[in-house]
Amino acid sequence: MTKLILALLIAFPAVAADTLSITGAGATFPAPLYSKWFSDYNKAHPEVQINYQAIGSGGGIKQITEKTVDFGASDAPMTEDEMKKAAGIQHIPTVMGAVVVVYNAPGVKNLKLTPETLALIFLGKITKWNDPALAKNNQGLPDTVISVAHRSDGSGTTSVFTDYLAKVSPEWKSGPGAGKSVSWPAGLGGKGNDGVTGIVKQTEGSIGYVELAYANENKLEMAELKNKDGHFVKPSLESVSEAAAKVEVPEDYRVSITDSSGSGAYPIAAFTYLLVYRDQADAAKGAALLKFISWAEHEGQKSAASLDYSPLPHALTKKVDATLRKMTVQGKPVLAAGK
């Protein structure tokens, strides 16, 4: 026992002196992957310890704007207003996520939805499962009332989902619109992915939306969606990655990739971002942070799929590499041209 205490006494100051502690805060959606990354990275580079608080995208943006953390994380890109308050901020996409439509209708397998029918259901205009509009692409639909479930808390998931609906349905755009929380014309609100899942699992005839990873984990029935090219696409890691393949990504990476073209592209996908300042003020931390991000874009991508996140397409990784090389610590670039 004494030996143990002695060992701890010796070990602790040593650790504290040599470890570089980087803190970040933000989105809850990528949090499971990020914590795996941080622990993997720490194993390879014991001198770097990264702490992450999954407080939500809004909180992440707020904290990186106030510079109380070294990096932020957000599912939705920052708005123009938010960008103005955080001059010199750079979005770095890490992985991609998808929002899937889950349902609980007796006897219905492989439900196929078109953008129009999806919007009409969530607008409360299609109220029965055996509606003729749904019957066009599906068979054996029951004569059950549809009950809609949506997120009640402000969330990036809702933002991506409503962004898609606003793109494909003029009525949705002029009605509820797109945002982290909107005024839903129909249905019940559940708090968090688990709240929506709870409603969908229990209510016969219900339909809702959750993150792909969450739906996989809970083995929920997922609908196939008709994409821009007219194909019905099942949500999967590959079909989500494909959604980013043909999108023209701008320098600041703030782009919506919902309803993108590509024959196998799943239409409700989005990037999740790290938010870092282009010029890092702290020499040691800044360099370590940039190196970590570069690691995440390459090594990190390999562990994404096992946790149900879609890795970035290769072309995009190259673009991110270029961006990272341009980033500086106290005015000097850190990452060499090689990597």
Among 8, 10, 44, 81, binds another protein (CB under 8 A): 81
Distance separating alpha carbons of residues 56 and 29, to the nearest angstrom:
8
Residue 303 interacts with another protein (CB under 8 A): yes or no: no
Distance separating alpha carbons of residues 39 and 330, to the nearest angstrom:
27
Among 40, 82, 171, 221, binds another protein (CB under 8 A): 82
Residue 270 interacts with another protein (CB under 8 A): yes or no: no
Residue 184 interacts with another protein (CB under 8 A): yes or no: yes
* Phi, psi angles (nearest 5°) of residue 102: -110, 150
| 3-state SS assignment for residue 239 | helix
Residue 127 interacts with another protein (CB under 8 A): yes or no: no
* Residue number with CB closer to another protein (90 or 206): 206
Residue 264 interacts with another protein (CB under 8 A): yes or no: no
DSSP H/E element including 23: strand 20-26
| Inter-axis angle of helices 283-295 and 314-326, nearest 10 | 170
Residue 203 interacts with another protein (CB under 8 A): yes or no: yes
Among 199, 233, 244, 304, binds another protein (CB under 8 A): 199
Instruction: Please give the single-letter amino acid code of residue 264.
Output: G
Residue 145 interacts with another protein (CB under 8 A): yes or no: yes
* Residue number with CB closer to another protein (24 or 176): 176
Query: Residue 2 Cβ, how far from another protein at the closest point, in Å?
Result: 40
Among 33, 50, 57, 296, binds another protein (CB under 8 A): 57
Distance separating alpha carbons of residues 162 and 173, to the nearest angstrom:
9
Residue 97 interacts with another protein (CB under 8 A): yes or no: no
Residue 177 interacts with another protein (CB under 8 A): yes or no: yes
Helix extents (H) in the chain: 2-18, 31-44, 57-65, 80-85, 115-122, 132-135, 156-168, 170-174, 192-202, 212-217, 237-245, 283-295, 301-304, 314-326
Query: Residue 232 Cβ, how far from another protein at the closest point, in Å?
Result: 29
How would you class 87 by CB atoms within 10 Å of its CB: exposed for 0-12, middle for 13-18, buried for 19 or more?
exposed
Tell me the site size for another protein, rule CB under 8 A.
34
DSSP H/E element including 270: strand 269-277
**Of the ranges 117-125, 180-188, 247-255, 257-265, which one interacts with another protein (CB under 8 A)?**
180-188
Residue 263 interacts with another protein (CB under 8 A): yes or no: no
Residues binding another protein (CB under 8 A) = 55-59, 79, 81-82, 145, 147, 152-156, 176-184, 187-191, 195, 198-199, 202-203
